[in-house]
Amino acid sequence: MLSRRRGLAGDVDAVTVSPRATRSSSRARVVGVAARRRAAERHPRDVRRWNDEEGFGYETSADDEEDDATKDWMSGVTWLPKMNPTKATEEDPALAEGEMVLPMFPLGSHVYLPETEHVLNIFEPRYRAMYSDILFNGSRRFVVPMCAPQEPGVFASVASVFYLDDLKEVSEQTNDAVKFVCSHTVIERVRVKRVLNDAVWGDRSSYLKVVTEKFEDCDEDEDFSNKETALVERFKQIIDMQTKVDEPVRFTGDLSETLSAKRGKDGFWRMVSLWQSLLQSRVQSKEGELSQNVQTLLRGYLEKTGVDLQDGRQIQLEFASLPDNIKAELARMQEEYKDECVVLLNEAIYPFQYLVQKDSHAERLDYFGELMEQEEKRLAAKNMLRNMFSSSDSPGGETDSSTD
């Protein structure tokens, strides 16, 4: 396990060598994405510093930005102005027709998709007060925007609305460490017109309040059955391709019978949620690979120095005490991981905000098709390499012309 100062691949202070993993093969890393998504939605999430001015997102240096300069991810999102704690609070805002004031609860750079379900653990006083207020006034809803990963205090202007389905008071069971365990459904999207009380972002004395208007599709009454059917078929083909090339993180085959790209419950947004889970699982898998490689390196080093690792104990090493060659190899591993993971993280965040802020079902279908095309190309290239290596290993080195 690595102790990091920043992000996912920052400077290492200390390294802990754990007992040897019992994982038998890479097949154990195959993820049933549908099951993982359902488990994540049921599992309560602690709401800690995600809405603060520090500690969330992946930090990058100028060099990182140059390396990832092939795509300007940030420019594709419509953002609100950055929080300004010196701005005067609007105590009695004037509202245009269709506008509504709602609480805003920033929960990090994760994009919460329509028609998904989420459980949150609430303990901060300001958010305890927010839940009491939305219960008292009967609205039972609040806005959850995407937060800019590298710019605290910057939020996407098109955001999801959480509806409070159930609230459990658990302060006695948790010695008041957690006040409420709350279940929610994302019921709609809104456009945030402005923030009324930027000042509380600075002093954390209360929760943010925003003026919103409903964000609805411009093509709500149009029929896109052909597009929807074609998208589902491509999704099924990708599931088959992932299985064929033995992807370590992939969809399970039983999803094929339940897919739909239509509007409404268990339709398009469910497909998007599955895709989001896939990409997030790839990030976690990459982090797991780094951790496993570090453990292997350090176990080898300790065994060479005569340390007995058979008793199952953990050994913590100070990074500064390691030999230069081990330090250099650790640094190389982290740099290689960071380069790959910056791309993976961006792909697991921004495309989903792009989908949320589109006001056309047809445009969302087309854009999701573009995401699928990238995956199709990646899998086709992997299959080609797999066939090439398989051919070179065949008796006599004969070339197999099959591309199946």
Q: Give the C-alpha separation, 103 to 130, whole Å.
A: 7
Residue whose structure tokens are 């920033």: 106
SS3 label, residue 135: helix
Reply yes or no on whether the pLDDT at 400 is more than 70.
Answer: no
Whole-Å CA distances, 283 to 45, 162, 364: 19, 26, 24
For the stretch 92-141, pLDDT in tens is 999 999 999 999 999 999 999 999 999 999 999 999 999 999 999 999 99
For the stretch 7-49, pLDDT in tens is 323 344 555 666 554 333 333 233 455 544 555 555 565 554 3
From the list 241, 215, 235, 144, the residue with the least C-alpha distance to 186 is 144
CB atoms within 10 A of CB 98: 8
Give the DSSP letter of residue 6: S
User: Which pLDDT score, from 0 to 100, does residue 300 have?
Assistant: 86
Structure tokens at 288: 């797991």
Whole-Å CA distances, 390 to 7, 74, 163, 399: 39, 41, 53, 9
Q: Give the C-alpha separation, 339 to 322, whole Å.
A: 24
pTM of the model: 0.79
Instruction: Please state, rounded to an integer, the average pLDDT across all residues of the chain.
Output: 82
For the stretch 182-238, pLDDT in tens is 999 999 999 999 999 999 998 999 999 999 999 999 999 999 999 999 999 999 999
Sequence ranges of the chain with CATH classification 2.30.130.40: 33-214
Whole-Å CA distances, 123 to 9, 107, 120, 153, 266: 29, 14, 10, 21, 32
Structure tokens at 186: 């994302």
Q: How many CA atoms lie within 13 Å of 2's alpha carbon, on the beta-carbon side?
A: 25
Contact assessment for residue 329 and residue 297, using Cβ atoms and an 8 Å cutoff = yes
372-375: long-range contacts (C-beta < 8 A, 24 or more apart)?
372/231, 372/234, 372/235, 372/238, 375/238
Lowest mean pLDDT across 58-67, 72-81, 375-384: 58-67
Strand order of the β-sheet with 315-318 is 2-4, 12-17, 315-318
Of the ranges 50-54, 309-313, 344-348, which is most confident?
344-348
* pLDDT classification of 60: cutoffs 50, 70, 90: very low
User: Which pLDDT score, from 0 to 100, does residue 14 have?
Assistant: 56
Class of domain 33-214: mainly beta
| Mean pLDDT to the nearest integer, 152-168 | 97
Structure tokens at 235: 């999704």
Contact assessment for residue 300 and residue 146, using Cβ atoms and an 8 Å cutoff = no
